Amino acid sequence: MSFKHVAVIMDGNGRWANQRFRPRIWGHVRGSEVVSEIVEEADNLGVKCLTLYAFSTENWSRPLEEVSSLFKLLKKFLIKERERILLNRIRFRVIGDLSKLPGDIVDLIQKLTVETRDNQGLNLTFAFNYGGRQEILKSVNDFILTNPGKLITEKDLSHSLYCPELGDVDLLIRTGGEHRVSNFLLWQIAYSELFFTPTKWPDFTPREFREILEATSMRERRFGGVKSQLNFSNSKMNAQKNCQTFIEGFQ
């Protein structure tokens, strides 16, 4: 089974740096380098959509210096990786509330988004200043404003999300050893497979990424159904067919 949409919570940068008696930002710098490696591996493996959790709405509570450094790393990534993204025909987008980001970074995001909107390769999405609950609330409120008095359906809500064309998440990976989804793509991960690895993001490798996809691809996804029900249905059909063949043999 191949995964169309893989999402990753890139966790453990700060703790990785602290274990090495370095400032937290040192871990973020190394983590930004890993991003490029995983994007390349996802593209090589044929993943259609890769969504990376880079900065949550709750991350504003971190020290100002760390937040500022995260903005600088995002800007550096947008500039440094632009040519590679264009060369590999990657479609780039950022989901979240961009109103609080510095204007020069928003300009770079919008420019790269426009430049890659017709690309047919990997759909690379960064979640920056993003929160799952906030996305759902925004989607519902937007629908109510444009459809007053109409009851919202699951299909309506799905179509009102930031990037509805990405669809549901097939596999959610979280690095760093924590076992939470931390307000990430709450609607989209309703039936996704979950994989939590103790590896901190700066130590996460393309090989481990590939091994996780291979391991989780062996899982049986029933989407609320029961395998025995499917087997019973098939057995019933086979029994009816055999019975009919048996009867016809006496005619």
> What is the token pair recorded at 78?
């947008």
97 included as an active-site residue: no
Catalytic residue among 59, 88, 119, 183: 59
CA pair distance 27, 32, nearest whole angstrom = 9
**Beta carbons within 8 Å of 137's beta carbon, 6+ residues apart:** none
Q: Which amino acid is present at 171? A: L
CA pair distance 102, 68, nearest whole angstrom = 10
**Beta carbons within 8 Å of 167's beta carbon, 6+ residues apart:** 4, 5, 49, 188
CA pair distance 19, 26, nearest whole angstrom = 11
> Of 149, 167, 150, which is closest to residue 158 (Cα–Cα)?
167
59 included as an active-site residue: yes
Cα 8–chain centre separation: 5
Count other C-beta atoms under 10 Å from residue 198's C-beta. 10
> Of 50, 63, 60, which is closest to residue 95 (Cα–Cα)?
50
**8 Å CB contact between 174 and 181:** yes
Q: Which residue has the tokens 């504003």?
A: 60
Q: What are the residue numbers of the active site? A: 11, 59
